[in-house]
Structures are given as C-alpha cells and as structure tokens.
Structure 1
Amino acid sequence: MTSQLEQLKKYTVVVADTGDLDAIAHLQPQDATTNPSLLLKAATLPGYSKLLRQAYQANVGNVSAACEQFAVDVGKEILQVIPGRISTEVDARLSFNQEATYTTAKRLMDRYNAAGISNDRVLIKIAATWEGIRAAERLEKQGIQTNLTLIFSFAQAAASADAGAYLISPFVGRIYDWYKKHNGTDYTAESDPGVQSVARIYRYFKTHHYATIVMGASFRNLGQIQQLAGCDRLTISPELLEQLAQSNMELTPQLHATQAGEAQVKLIESQFRWHMNEDAMATEKLAEGIRQFARDQEKLELLFKQL
C-alpha cells in the first residue's frame, strides 16, 4: 500500500515546516519554511554551528545583520535538498512598520541574490498585519514574492489575496487550541474550527479565481491534515510527516477547486481593523504569534552576542 504521505502528495504540495536538513532530506518535501523559532532551534544543531560562526564573523558588531545572514545561509542549505522554494521571515518586531518590513524584505532578497539564489526560489514571510499586507503588495510589484503568515481570520486572508500575495499561511492548530481552551470542547477533525477556517478561505479563493496559494499550517494531529487534503499546499512538521509516511490508510481529498465559496469582499483599512477587533481569537493569536517570534528572534540575537 502507498503511504498517506505519498497519497497526499498527489493532491497537495507538501512543505516541510522545519530547518532540520536531515529531516528535509529524508522526507523530500517540495518546499520548506522557516521562522525565528525554527531558526533558533536550527542554531543549536551541530550541523549549523559553522553557519552561525560564519554569519557572526561576516557581520561583527551588527547582530541584526548576522541574524539575517544566518537565515539566508540556512535557506541556501535547505534549497540544496529541495526542488522548490524556501520561505524566510522578516523580523517579527517590524510587523507594524510597513516601510521597515519592505526594506528588510528587499535586503533579505539581496542577500539571497548575492549567494546565487534567484527570486523564484524564495518567498519572504511577513506577518499578515495591515502594515505587513501593504508591504507585501509593494514587494510583489517589485518581483519579490511573499508568504503572508500568522493568518487566523478570513479578513486577513481576503486582504492578502486582494494585495496579490503569492501565498498565505492560515494556521490550523493555533485556532484549534484557542477554541478548545475557551469552549472546553475537543473537536473532531470535521468540526475543527482551524480546519473549517482554511476550508472557507480555500473555497473563497477558488470561487473568485485568486491566484494566491493557500498553504495550511500549524497542525496538531493527522486528522487536521487529512481533512485538508486537496488544499494547494500544507506545511507540516517532520513528526507529522513521519506519521503520514508510516500510515497506509486510504486518503481521500476533501477540498476541490469547484467547491462554492461566499460573496467577494474588498476591505479598506478601517473595515479590516474592525473585522479583526470583532474576532477575539484572531486578534489574540496574531498578537501572541508576533510576540513569540519576537522573543525567539531576541534569543537568536543573544546566541550571536555570546559567540
């Protein structure tokens, strides 16, 4: 029997949510994503100690630049073992600064270009705040494609598609966590609010022919992944990828491009902010995600200061 991982790859582009080169080489995903938390974890792996020192030595006295170089160097290593793209994230502390996000994204791409990596192999990850979405819109027009991340609401997804983002990363597991905690309910895969959020976004994008790719992210269990089989892409941790590889149960796609979505919406800034204000889960999880990435960015900087 074919494994569930191989079955899933027939319907969905599988992306590895890790910076672990050994795991990526073993599981052979199409693309890979990193973020400050994953880079911090990668920095503690023996295989990356050389890259850490090189980034430090090339940017002595500039910890921020060293962190950027390390992110790009890790991305370059990953690109040697995958056929597709690497997503590299802008410093989360810039999430509410459109200009700084735009400038940093261009600098990251310049670093990739200097390393011989072309734009079509990189996605710049940006938190889907209003400012981040506007920066992504500008970057897309400059030929720098983006991955808008930390998406917890339909408003974030709709605004990202209107901005022409190449890809969005709506989160599943963190939505599930919030509703389970606040409602005291353990959801089935079918009733999971995180799964339902991604399915809603997917149907909306297909109904209105948005080119923006939907990449479900942040999974807690196999059921969530199985319910989103057929989504454009899914970014999955090595642990869950391994579980899929070990299972031979039949996998049936649940999402199809012909499924009908709701009426189209065009959000101006005040409407976007109001929709976010009305969505307690999305507001809380977006803020929490930005804070977590910011803290891990600071821990990564501390590693450089200790070299």
Structure 2
Amino acid sequence: MANLLDQLKSMTTVVSDTGDINAIKQYKPTDATTNPSLIAAAAGMPEYQSIVDDVLQGAREKAGENASDKDVAAAAFKTLAVAFGRKILEIVPGRVSTEVDARLSYDTEKSIETARDIIAQYKEAGIGPERVLIKLASTWEGIRAAEVLEKEGIHCNMTLLFGLHQAVASAEAKVTLISPFVGRILDWYKKDTGKDYAPAEDPGVKSVTEIYHYYKKFGYKTVVMGASFRSTGEIIELAGCDLLTIAPKLLQELQTTEGTLERKLDPATAAKDPIEKIVVDKATFDKMHAENRMAHDKLKEGIEGFSKALEDLEKLLEKRLSELPKPQAVSK
C-alpha cells in the first residue's frame, strides 16, 4: 500500500514549507516556500553558514569600507532570502516563494519596489520570474501591490490570509496563488473557545474549504495553497486542494504512514456549493475585516511576528559580520 505522501502528491501539488535545503532534498516537493522566520532559522544552522557568509561579504563589498556592520547587515538580509531561494531552485522542479519585507505590509509602492528588486536579483542569477512567487501580506495594500505586479508578469503568493474577504479581493486582483493559514486559524479558535477540534471540524480546514469552493464555483484562476498546519489530520481533510505547503516534520509523518487517502476537495463538489458571490471593494474589505476578530487578530500578529523575525535576522547577520575578517585596505 502506498504511503499518504505519495497519494497526496497524485491529487495535490506538495510544497515544502522550510528554508532547510536538506529537508527539501529528502522529501522532493514540487515547490518550496519560505518566510522570514524560516530563513532566520536556516541562517542560524551551521551547514548554511557559507551561504550567509557569502551574502555578507557581497553586501560589505557593495556598501563600501565606510559602512557600519549594522548597515551592511540590513542590506544583506534583502539578498539572503534570494540566496536561499536560488539554492532551493537547484533542487525543486517548480517554484520558490520569496517574501517581501513584512514591515512594508501597509505600503503598496514600497512593496512593489521591493518585489521588483527581488525578481531582478533572481534574473541576475539566470532565474526567470516564472520560477518565483513573491509573497505579500494579505492587507488591502498588499493585494493592490500584487495586482500591479501580476500585470507586469511577476507572480504573487498572498500570505497571512485568514478570511474570505482577503481571498476574494486577491482573486479579483488576479493574483497567482493564496496561502490561507490553517493552523493559525485553529490556534485562535482554541484560545478563544477553550475547545479542541476534530480535523473535519477544524475552523482552519473549514475556511480553506470555503475559499476553495468559492474559487472553483466562480471560475477564478487564482489557486489555493493551504499552509501552516498543526497536524496531518488537517492535511488529510484538505487532500485535493490545489497546493499544500507542509513542514518537514509533517511530510515525514505522511511519508511513513500507510493507508488510503480520500480526496476531500474537488471542483465538481465545489460547483454544487450554495455559496453566493460577493463584491469586495475597500469599504467592504475593511468592514468584513473589522467584523472578523480572528482574521483581524491573526493578520496583525502575523505581520508583527514576521517583522520581529526580520529584526532578529538583522541582529544575527550583524553579529556574524563582526566575526568575519575585515577586507584589507589596498595601499596606493
């Protein structure tokens, strides 16, 4: 009997949710996605020190000898995610998601500028935009940035997505992909209600199912990638989703478990869902967001968490930079 991971791959594109290149080699996903927390974790691993050091040395040379370690570290973190992305693309046949600075989540213009810079860095390394997804927070401003970028042929992945209003606005903006956060939704409900939820009743699973049905019923081209899982039970309930991005620990559980995996999400079933179409302009988006306590709380918390991860990463890079030998001044 086939293991659950192999069966899942037959109905869903499996994506590895990690910056750990060795884990990606082990589980052979189609795509890979990273975020600031994952990049910070990977950057602290001894086996990836050479990648970090190369990025730091390059940033130091570019900044010039008068630049402080703090300034060099701040510049280096922008290229570190791309450096990891390039390594990941040597392994996966598909795409890698690279995130725009979470501190720009409410700034449309700077998000667009940063996304273009990320794509330019990949292009300089010989990697085309078809192999990269730009991750943006699903704020109204982030979605507007994605709308502009998609028109330029830069494909986007809307992250920190917790509500139907964010999903509909993203689809109307013609973004390539959205990443609803299953586990973080569950976390909020467990804390709010004090209850435990079986996988089929999991609020995160229900949210992704609703979004998937909405997209398929109304013919949107934007695809759904469930993310942020707490258990394989959640993954099993979403088998058939367009894509699922899964951490190495859960990939291992799926790979070592045998049984029959039933397809739960299917376009034919979605077509029969009585869900009604809604129009999401900014006023509707703001109203729905304010009324959805979970989405409001988790978006704010997610942006703050990713921003802190970036600040921690900058400190880690600054410390590492101070340990590297300074370039020798060339005597004239």
Which TM-score band applies after superposition, normalised by the shorter structure? Answer: over 0.9
Q: CA RMSD in A?
A: 0.8
Shift of 1:266: 1.8
What is the SS of the residue equivalent to 1:165? Answer: coil
Q: How high is the TM-score relative to the length of structure 2? A: 0.91
Cα displacement (A) at 1:168:
0.1
The residue type paired with residue 32 of structure 2 is A
In 1, Cα distance between equivalents of 2:72 and 2:177:
31
Q: 2:239: which partner in 1?
A: 229
Structure 1: which 5+ residue stretches go unaligned? Answer: none
CA distances 1:153-191 after superposition (whole Å, capped 9, x unpaired): 000000000001100000100101111111111011111
SS, match of residue 50 in structure 1: helix
Aligned: 1:156 with 2:169: no
Alignment of 1:13 with 2:16, yes or no, is: no
Match of 2:300 in 1: 287
Aligned residues: 307
**Shift in Å, 1:57:** 1.5
2:97 pairs with 1:84: no
SS across alignment from 2:16: strand
Alignment of 1:239-278 (within 5 A): 239-258=249-268, 259=270, 260-261=272-273, 262-278=275-291
* 2-structure distance, mates of 1:188, 1:159: 30
Q: In structure 1, what is the equivalent of residue 33 of structure 2?
A: 33
Amino acid at match of 2:135: K
Check if 1:298 corresponds to 2:298. Answer: no
Poorly superposed stretches of 4+, deviation over 6 Å: none
Cα drift, residue 16 of structure 1: 0.3
Note the C-alpha offset of 1:73: 0.6
Return the letter of the residue paired with 1:100: K
Gaps of 5+ in 2: 61-70, 322-332
The answer to which of 19-28 and 61-70 deviates more is: 61-70
Q: Secondary structure, in 3 states, of the residue corresponding to 2:117?
A: helix
CA distance in 1, matches of 2:50, 2:7: 37
Shift of 1:50: 1.1
Bigger radius of gyration among the two: 2
CA shift at 1:51, angstroms?
1.3
Paired residues for 1:1-307 under 5 Å? 1-60=1-60, 61-258=71-268, 259=270, 260-261=272-273, 262-306=275-319, 307=321
Per-residue deviation at 1:47? 2.4
Look up the SS of the partner of 2:215 in the other structure: helix
For residues 224-266 of structure 1, the C-alpha deviation after alignment (integer angstroms, 9 at most, x for no partner) is 0000000000000000000000000110010101123422222
Q: Which SS does the other structure have where 1:190 is aligned?
A: helix
Provide the C-alpha distance between the structure 2 equivalents of 1:266 and 1:68, rounded to a whole number of angstroms.
Answer: 36
C-alpha displacement of 1:69: 1.0
Q: Scaled by the length of structure 1, what TM-score is found? A: 0.99
Identity %: 49
